[in-house]
Amino acid sequence: MRRSARDTEESARKVSRRGLFLGGSMLAVVALLGARMRHMQVDQADEFRLLAEDNRISIRLIPPARGQIFDRNGKLIAGNEQNYRVVISRDDAGDVEDVLQRIARIMPVSPDDFDRAMKEAKRRSPLPIIVADRLSWEDVSTVAINAPALPGVSPEFGLSRVYPRDTDFAHVVGYVGPVSERDLAKLEEPDPLLQTPKFQIGKIGVETWMEGDLRGRAGNRRVEVNAVGRVMRELGRQEGDPGADIRLTIDADVQNYAQARLGEESAAAVVMDVQNGDILAIASAPSFDPNLFVRGISHADYNALTENDHRPLANKTVQGAYPPGSTFKMVTALAALEAGLITTSTSVNCPGHYEVGGRRFHCWKRGGHGRVSLERSLAESCDVYYYDIALKVGIDKIAEMGRKLGLGERHDIPMSAITDGLMPNKQWKQERYGQEWRIGDTVNASIGQGYVLTSPLQLAVMTSRIASGRAVSPRLIHSIAETQTPIAPAADLGISPQILRAVQQGMFAVSNSQRGTAYSSRIADNTMQLAGKTGTSQVRNITAAERARGVISNDALPWNRRDHALFVGFAPFEAPRYAVAVVVEHGGGGSTAAAPIGRDLLLRALSDGIPPLSAYPASQRNRIETMHRNMPLRDPDGSAPGSSRA
C-alpha cells in the first residue's frame, strides 16, 4: 500500500518524537538505578560490609580443660583423659547412611549409635555428626587410615572427665554430666560454652559447687564459614584459660581405708582435724562408680543403684539425719554443768527407770546402774542420769549447747543436699506442731532420741569442738589453684576448761575403763589413746508389752528395723588431733558395730599407712591382721584393688 509523502514525513516525525520520549524515560530509569547503586555502595557501604563480615565470620568456642581435683597430698581424684571420637561433616559426606555403613565395616558401631547418627544427619545443622564417642586409639587410627574411602569422616579428640579412684570419692567429688535444659533454665545468662555439644558440667558434689573455678574460660577461634556453615579457614585464635585445679583436705588413702572399712554396710564416717577443721575422710557406703554417669549410665545400672535398699546414691555423711542416741549425752552434760545446776561430782541413783509426769522412762540396763557419777554415766551410758539432769536444766539450755557444738546448723562444705539436722527447743515445737513442749520430750532429747536429728558431719564437728574447746568448722577445699582457702577462725567455745575436761574424762572412760561401752575398741598405744562415746538409736518404738516380755534383740529383727549404731571419738586423748563420727544404719549396738570402725579410722589417720598391730589390744591382733589382709585397699598409686595381682 502506498502512502503520501506527507503521511510518511508526519509518521517519521511522530516516531522520532516518541522515540526521544522513550529514550528520555529510559535515561530517567537508568539515573534511578545509578542513584540506588550509589546509595547502597557508597552511603550504606559500611553497614553492608559489616553484615557481610557477620555472615562469613563465625566465632567458635574452644572448650577449656576442666580443673583437676587432687587430695591433700597431690594424688589425683578427678582428671581429664584424651577422648577420641569420629565425626562426619555432612557437606562432604554426601550420602550419610552409606558412609556410616562403610564405617561400621571397619570398626564397631553400636545400633544405638547408628540410629542416633542417622537422626542427627536429618537435622539441618552446620555441626558435624558424632558417630561414636570414647573410642580406642586403634579404632581411631583405623578410621584415619581409611579416610580416603570415607568422605567427610574425620577423627577428633577432646577431653573427658575421669575419676581414677572411682567409688572412693563418688559422694565427695560427685560427677559431671551433659548440660540439661534444667541446668540452662537455672542460669540467667548461661555461659555460651554450655551450649557447645557434648559439654559437661558438675552435677553433684564438689564438681557442682566448685563449677565456677573448675570450668575455666573458653577460648575462641574466628573462622570463615560458607553459607552452609562449613569452616573454610581459621582467621584468628584466642586461647582460653583452663579451669583451676583444686586440692581437697581429704587424704585419698585414709578415704580409701574408710570406704573399705565401711564395706557393704549402709554407713557413713567422717574423720576431721580437731584443730583446723580439715576433713581427712568423709565416706558414705555403699558407694558407686561416678565414671558410669560421665559416660551415660545404662538403665540397668541406674535401676540397680536406685532399687538398692542401702541407698548407694545418698551421701549419708551430710544428707543423712539420724537420732544421735547416746552420743548426744555430752551435750546434755555440758549444758547442765555450764548452767551450774550440777557439778562434776554430782551423782544420781539409777534404779533402771525414771518416773516423771506419770510416765516411766527406762534405762537401757533393766537392773539399773545404782549410784552413778558423771564419769560412770558416760562410760556406761546410763540413761537415768541424763533424764534427771535434763529435767533440771531444761530443753532450751540443752539446745543452746547443742548449737554451740555445731548441731542443728548447716555446715557449708561444697557438697550436695546438706541437711540442717534438728536441734529442737520449745519455740520450735510450738512453731512446727503448735503444741506445748512436754517433759517427756526433754527426757527423750536428753539421750539423743525424740526430735533430735544430726548428720555424721555434725557429730564430727561436735566431737572436734568438745576435743579442742574451740568452735572449729569443717573445711573440704584445701586450695584453689595453689591459693590456700582460709581456715575459719575457731573462737573459744567459752566452756570452762574444768568442765570440758570432766566430760573428756568421761569419754576417755568409755573406751578405757573396763566397764566402758567401747572398752573392746580401746587403743593400746599410750601415745594415741582413744576417747569416745557410743550410741544406739532406736528406729522403732518399744511397747510396754514388749518390754515386759523382754526387748527383742537386734539379731532377731529384720535389717531395716534394727537400731542405728553410732560412735564419736577423738584421739590422742592427751593431745587431740582427729575426731571421728561413725553411723552404721541398722547396725545394732554402737559399741559393737560402730566403735571398732571409729577406732580403726582414727588409728589409720594417726598412722602412716596401715596402723601397726601394736596399737591394738593384744587379744584382737590376730583378727585385725586378718581383717587388714582381706581389706580391698587400693595400691598407693590409686589403681583399683587387686589390679596389681591380676
Partner 1 sequence: MSFLEYRVKTVPTGFSKILYVNWALVVLLVAIASVGFLMLYSVAGGRLSVWAEPQMKRFLLGMSVMFFVAFVPIWFWRNMAGLAYGGSILLLLAVEFFGSVGMGAQRWIELGPLRLQPSELSKVTLVMLLAAYYDWLDIKKTSRPLWVMIPVFLILLPTVLVLGQPDLGTALLLMGGGAVVMFCAGVSWLYFGAVFALGAGAVAAVLTSRGTEWQLLKDYQYRRIDTFLDPSSDPLGSGYHITQAKIALGSGGWAGRGFMQGTQSRLNFLPEKHTDFIFTTLAEEFGFIGAFSLLGLYTLVLAFCIASALQNKDRFASLVTLGIAATFFFYFAVNMLMVMGLAPVVGVPLPLVSYGGSSMLVLLAAFGLVQSAHVHRPR
CA separation, residue 262 to residues 59, 539, 585, 598, 606 (Å): 51, 21, 11, 10, 18
Shortest Å distance, C-beta 130 to partner 1: 25
Beta bridge partners of 359: 356
Mark residues 165-204: x for contact with partner 1 by CB under 8 A, - for none: ----------------------------------------
Phi and psi of 248, rounded to 5°?
-90, 165
642 grid coordinates: 587387686
CA dihedral for 447, 377, 587, 313, sign (positive or negative): positive
CB of 8 or CB of 238, closer to partner 1? 8
Strand partners, 87: 130, 154
Q: Which residues pair with 422 in a beta bridge?
A: 453
Are 348 and 371 in contact by the 8 Å Cβ rule? The answer is yes
Residue whose C-alpha is closest to residue 77's, from 290, 295, 262, 296: 290
Q: How far is the CB of 7 from partner 1 (least distance, A)?
A: 5
CB-based burial label for 246 (10 Å; 0-12, 13-18, 19+): buried
Q: Is 3 in the site for partner 1 (CB under 8 A)?
A: yes
In the complex, least distance from residue 223 CB atom to partner 1, rounded to whole angstroms: 11
- Residue 181 C-beta: closest distance to partner 1, Å: 24
Among residues 287, 326, 381, 591, the one annotated as catalytic is 326
**Beta strand extents in 129-170 (DSSP E only):** 129-135, 153-162
Rounded distance, CA 149 to CA 464, Å? Answer: 67
- Considering the complex, state which of residue 91 and residue 213 has its C-beta at the smaller distance from partner 1: 91
Burial class (CB in 10 A: 0-12, 13-18, 19+), 232: exposed
- Confirm if 201 and 215 have CB atoms less than 8 A apart: yes
Amino acid at the residue 237: R
11: contact with partner 1 by CB under 8 A: yes
Q: Would you count residue 52 as binding partner 1 (CB under 8 A)?
A: yes
Pairwise CA distance, residues 622 & 98, whole Å: 67
Q: How many residues lie near partner 1 (CB under 8 A)?
A: 44
**With binding defined as CB under 8 A, does residue 22 bind partner 1?**
yes
From 52-60, 179-187, 262-270, 515-523, give the range in contact with partner 1 by CB under 8 A.
52-60
Q: Which of residues 27, 145, 147, 552 is near partner 1 by CB under 8 A? A: 27
* DSSP assignment letter at 447: T
Grid coordinates belonging to 317: 555423711
Q: Could you give the CA distance from residue 626 to residue 638 in angstroms, rounded to a whole number?
A: 22
Q: Which of 55, 110, 195, 484 binds partner 1 (CB under 8 A)?
A: 55
Residue 15 as a binder of partner 1 (CB under 8 A): the answer is yes
Instruction: Order the strands of the 279-285 sheet from edge to edge.
Output: 279-285, 267-273, 578-584, 564-571, 531-537
Q: What cell numbers appear for 539 in the block?
A: 528406729
Residue 93 vs 601, nearer CB to partner 1: 93
552 touches partner 1 by CB under 8 A = no
Interface region with partner 1, contact rule CB under 8 A, candidates 32-40, 338-346, 488-496, 528-536? 32-40
Q: Out of 185, 227, 300, 544, which residue is the one contacting partner 1 (CB under 8 A)? A: 227
Q: Is 1 in the site for partner 1 (CB under 8 A)?
A: yes
Interaction between residue 36 and partner 1 (CB under 8 A):
yes
Q: How far is the CB of 221 from partner 1 (least distance, A)?
A: 17
Which range in 2-10, 193-201, 392-400, 437-445 contacts partner 1 by CB under 8 A?
A: 2-10
The one segment of 43-51, 103-111, 254-262, 372-380 that binds partner 1 by CB under 8 A:
43-51
For 75, 80, 136, 173, 190, the CA distances from 164, given in Å and listed in that order, are: 10, 10, 18, 12, 30
Site string for partner 1, 133-152 (x = CB under 8 A): --------------------
Q: Which residues pair with 567 in a beta bridge?
A: 534, 582
287-346 residues in contact with partner 1 (CB under 8 A) are none
- Residues present in the chain in total: 646
Q: Any contact of residue 225 with partner 1 (CB under 8 A)? A: yes
The dihedral region occupied by 605, where left means phi > 0, alpha psi between -120 and 50, and beta the remainder, is alpha
Q: What are phi and psi of 585, to 5 degrees?
A: -65, 130
Confirm if 542 and 551 have CB atoms less than 8 A apart: yes
Q: Pick from 12, 145, 184, 235: which binds partner 1 (CB under 8 A)?
A: 12
State the cell numbers at 605: 589417720
Does residue 125 belong to the site contacting partner 1 (CB under 8 A)? no
Among the candidate windows 44-52, 266-274, 562-570, 606-614, which touches partner 1 by CB under 8 A? 44-52
**Which of the stretches 220-228, 271-279, 294-302, 319-327 binds partner 1 when contact is defined by CB under 8 A?**
220-228
Residue nearer to partner 1 on the CB measure, 47 or 635: 47
Q: Judge whether 191 and 399 are in contact, CB under 8 Å.
A: no
Single residue of 125, 226, 343, 543 touching partner 1 by CB under 8 A: 226
Tell me: does residue 33 bind partner 1 (CB under 8 A): yes
- Bridge partners of 370? 350
> Is 234 a binder of partner 1 (CB under 8 A)?
no
3-state SS assignment for residue 221:
strand
Residue 235 touches partner 1, criterion: CB under 8 A:
no
Of 397, 503, 506, 382, the residue nearest 447 (C-alpha): 382
Nearer to partner 1, 110 or 125 (CB): 125
Of these, 187, 228, 235, 304, which contacts partner 1 (CB under 8 A)?
A: 228
Q: Which is nearer to partner 1, 42 or 548 (CB)?
A: 42
Is 236 among the residues that bind partner 1 (CB under 8 A)?
Answer: no
Instruction: By CB under 8 A, tell whether 222 contacts partner 1.
Output: no
Contact 416, 209 (CB under 8 A): yes
326 catalytic? Reply is: yes
Which of these ranges, 51-59, 149-157, 368-376, 531-539, lies near partner 1 under the rule CB under 8 A?
A: 51-59
Only one of the segments 224-232, 285-293, 475-483, 527-535 lies at the binding site for partner 1 (rule: CB under 8 A); that segment is 224-232
19 binds partner 1 (CB under 8 A): yes
Note the residues at the interface with partner 1 (CB under 8 A): 1, 3, 7-8, 10-12, 14-16, 18-20, 22-23, 26-27, 29-30, 32-34, 36-38, 40-42, 44-45, 47-49, 51-53, 55-56, 224-228, 232
Report, as residue numbers or ranges, the catalytic residues. 326
